[in-house]
């Protein structure tokens, strides 16, 4: 059975989440503080983490950074009451795969859980490996090694940022709508869900890869259509 870890210090919310997930057939463990949650998340048996950001002793941002620094690629779904763009960017920069904003519906939560579990750890398989690298501007992308360099210096992308960049690269300049990217990168079954996930990730890719993020030359917005990558 799929093992899910909930890291949440609110006992009522943790109980409700646990009951919901167990009803769906998942095996669920709960941690109530940051250090305990980090230790539990490092277990190879855990296949998905639901993480609250506001935790005692170690907040969710630090927990995420420590988890990724240790090499873990377990999918992490953040549960947050914060909706400011800066907070969400920090969330993804720290290594989150997706987020839901409190209060959230049970249906939305379960949809996000299923999508992340279908995708599994963010790692390229043989079917995704095409050429040793792709270049645009002064950026070089190695899809096999999942590495990116800008002007010869390594650039650290989160797993979802890399997946999004790969999705745009594979289109060879064609437009990708937000709905298409949500379905392909995040595996959303319902792409009508209102979310800024794609926009936030594109903004982060621009910040990391464009010489002038405010006037991008490669990661382009196509008004009322989506995004495309100009090589």
Phi/psi of residue 139, nearest 5 degrees: -105, 135
Q: Are residue 113 and residue 7 in the same domain, yes or no?
A: yes
Which helix (H) or strand (E) segment is 90 a member of? helix 85-94
Cis peptide leading into 9, omega within 30 of 0?
no
Whether residues 7 and 113 share a domain: the answer is yes
Residues with Cβ < 8 Å from 56, sequence gap 6 or more?
9, 32, 33, 34
Model confidence band, residue 194 (pLDDT cutoffs 50, 70, 90): low
Nearest CA-CA partner of 113 in 40, 179, 25, 201: 25
At which of 119, 135, 153 does a domain end? Answer: 119
Among residues 97, 119, 141, the one where a domain terminates is 119
CA proximity to 55, closest of 67, 44, 46, 45: 67
Whole-number percent of the chain with pLDDT over 90: 55
CATH (domain of 135): 1.10.10.10
Structural domain boundaries enclosing 150 = 126-229
Distance CA 48, CA 41 (A): 8
pTM for the whole thing?
0.61
Q: Are strands 3-7 and 48-52 parallel, antiparallel or unpaired?
A: parallel
- Please list the helix, strand and coil fractions of the chain in percent, rounded to the nearest 5, in that order: 40, 20, 40
Q: Which of 64, 85, 119 is the last residue of a domain?
A: 119
- By percentage, how much of the chain surpasses pLDDT 70? 92
Which pLDDT band, with edges at 50, 70 and 90, does 190 fall under?
low
Would you place residue 124 in the very low, low, confident or very high pLDDT band (cuts 50, 70, 90)? very low
In this prediction, residue 135 has a pLDDT band, given cuts at 50, 70 and 90, of: confident
Question: How much is the average pLDDT of 56-69?
Answer: 93
Write the pLDDT tens digit of every residue in 3-31.
999 999 999 999 999 999 999 999 999 99
Total number of domains constituting the chain? 2
State the CATH number of the domain containing residue 104.
3.40.50.2300
Q: Identify whether residues 63 and 103 lie together within a single domain.
A: yes
| 25 shares its domain with 68 | yes
> Could you give the CA distance from residue 92 to residue 21 in angstroms, rounded to a whole number?
24
Query: Can you give the pLDDT at residue 193?
Result: 63
Query: Does position 41 have pLDDT exceeding 70, yes or no?
Result: yes
Tokens matching residue 193: 């869900």
Answer yes or no: is pLDDT of 153 > 70.
Answer: yes
For all residues of the chain together, what is the average pLDDT? 87
- Distance (Å) of CA 12 to CA 9, 18, 52, 105, 106: 9, 10, 13, 16, 15
């Amino acid at each position: 059975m799929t093992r899910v870890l909930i890291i949440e210090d609110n006992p009522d919310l943790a109980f409700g989440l646990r009951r919901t997930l167990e009803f769906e057939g998942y095996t669920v463990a709960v941690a109530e503080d940051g250090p305990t949650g980090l230790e539990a998340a490092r277990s190879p048996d855990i296949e998905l983490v639901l993480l609250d950001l506001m935790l005692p002793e170690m907040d969710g941002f630090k927990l995420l950074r420590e988890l990724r620094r240790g090499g873990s690629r377990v999918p992490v779904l953040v549960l947050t009451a914060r909706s400011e763009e800066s907070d969400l960017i920090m969330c993804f920069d720290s290594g989150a795969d997706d987020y839901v904003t409190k209060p959230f519906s049970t249906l939305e939560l379960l949809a996000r859980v299923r999508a992340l579990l279908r995708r599994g750890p963010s790692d390229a398989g043989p079917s995704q490996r095409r050429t040793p690298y792709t270049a645009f501007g002064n950026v070089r992308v190695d899809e096999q090694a999942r590495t990116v360099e800008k002007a010869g210096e390594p650039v650290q992308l989160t797993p979802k940022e890399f997946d999004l960049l790969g999705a745009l690269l594979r289109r060879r300049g064609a437009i990708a709508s937000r709905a298409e990217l949500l379905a392909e990168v995040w595996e959303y079954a319902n792409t009508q869900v209102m979310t800024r996930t794609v926009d936030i990730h594109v903004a982060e890719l621009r910040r990391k890869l464009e010489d002038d993020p405010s006037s991008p030359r490669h990661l382009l917005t196509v008004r009322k259509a989506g995004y495309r990558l100009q090589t």
